[in-house]
Chains A and B, each alone.
Chain A
Amino acid sequence: MNLHELWSIFVMQGFAGISLFSVLLLMGLGLALIFGQMGVINMAHGEFMALGAYTTYFCSTLVQDHAPRLLPFYFPLAIVLAFVLSAALGAFVEWAMIRHLYKRPLDTLLASWGLSLIMQQTYRSIFGAREVTPTLPEWLMGSFKPTDAIDIPINGVFVLALALAVTGGLVIFMFRTPFGLRLRATVQNRAMSNAVGINTKLVDRLAFSIGCGIAGIAGAAFTTIGSTGPDSGSRYIVDAFLVVVFGGAANLLGSVASAFGIAQAQSILEFFLDGTKGKVATLLFIVVILMFRPQGLFPSKVRSS
Chain B
Amino acid sequence: MLFKTLFKSRAEFLSYAALTLLLVVVLPVLLPVFRLNLFGKYLTYGFVGVGLVLLWGRCGILSLGQGVFFGIGGYCMAMFLKLEASDPITTKIQSTPGIPDFMDWNQLTHLPFFWEPFKHFPVALLAVVLVPTALAFCLGWAMFQRRVGGVYFAIITQAIALIISLGIDGNQGYTGGRNGITDLRTLLGWDIRSTSAQYILYFACVFFLLLCGLAAKYIINTRMGRVLVAIRDREDRVRFSGYDVALCRTFVFALAALISGVGGAFFVLQVGFMSPSLIGIVPSIEMVIFTAVGGRLSVVGAILGSLIVNLGKTTFSEAIPELWLFLMGGTFIAVVMFFPNGVAGLMEPGGWLSTKLEPFKAMLFGRSGPGSGAGNEVVEVVKNTSVSIAQTTEVTK
CB A155 to nearest CB in B, in angstroms, measures 26
Binds B, one of A49-57, A146-154, A215-223, A280-288: A280-288
B36 at the A interface (CB under 8 A): no
Q: Enumerate chain A interface residues (CB-CB to B < 8 A).
A: 35, 39, 41, 97, 100-101, 103-107, 109-111, 113-118, 120-121, 124-125, 234, 238, 241-242, 245, 274, 276-277, 279-280, 283-284, 286-287, 290-294, 305
A39-B151 Cα distance, complex, nearest whole Å: 9
Report A-chain residues with C-beta under 8 Å of the C-beta of B395.
Answer: 103
Contact A291 to B169, CB < 8 A, known contacts A109-B154, A241-B155, A242-B159: no
Q: Are A117 and B163 in contact (CB under 8 A)?
A: no
Q: Are A283 and B371 in contact (CB under 8 A)?
A: no
Q: Are A97 and B169 in contact (CB under 8 A)?
A: no
- The dominant DSSP class at the B interface is helix
Residue ID in chain B nearest A106 by CB atoms: B62
Q: Are B396 and A242 in contact (CB under 8 A)?
A: no
Q: Are B152 and A290 in contact (CB under 8 A)?
A: yes
Q: Are A121 and B325 in contact (CB under 8 A)?
A: yes
A110-B143 Cα distance, complex, nearest whole Å: 22
Q: Are A117 and B281 in contact (CB under 8 A)?
A: no
For the complex of A and B, 10 pairs with smallest distance between CB atoms: A114-B332, A117-B329, A276-B170, A121-B325, A118-B329, A103-B371, A294-B148, A114-B333, A114-B329, A111-B336
CB A195 to nearest CB in B, in angstroms, measures 14
Contact A238 to B330, CB < 8 A, known contacts A283-B166, A287-B163: no
Given contacts A109-B151, A234-B282, A287-B159, 12 further A-B contacts (CB under 8 A): A101-B336, A103-B367, A104-B396, A107-B337, A111-B337, A113-B332, A116-B329, A117-B328, A245-B155, A280-B163, A283-B162, A294-B146
**B272-305 interface with A by 8 A CB criterion:** 281-282, 285, 288-289, 292
Q: Enumerate chain B interface residues (CB-CB to A < 8 A).
A: 62, 139, 142-143, 146-148, 150-152, 154-156, 158-160, 162-163, 166-167, 169-170, 281-282, 285, 288-289, 292, 322, 324-326, 328-333, 336-337, 340, 367-368, 371-372, 395-397
Q: Are B330 and A114 in contact (CB under 8 A)?
A: yes
Q: Are A110 and B332 in contact (CB under 8 A)?
A: yes
CB A36 to nearest CB in B, in angstroms, measures 11
Report B-chain residues with C-beta under 8 Å of the C-beta of A293.
Answer: 146
Select one of A111, A121, A242, A280 contacting B332, CB under 8 A: A111
A276-B336 Cα distance, complex, nearest whole Å: 36
30 contacts between A and B (CB under 8 A): A41-B154, A41-B155, A97-B333, A103-B367, A103-B368, A105-B151, A105-B396, A109-B154, A110-B288, A110-B336, A114-B331, A114-B333, A117-B328, A117-B329, A117-B332, A121-B329, A234-B282, A238-B158, A238-B162, A238-B281, A242-B155, A274-B170, A276-B169, A280-B170, A283-B162, A291-B142, A291-B146, A291-B148, A294-B143, A294-B148
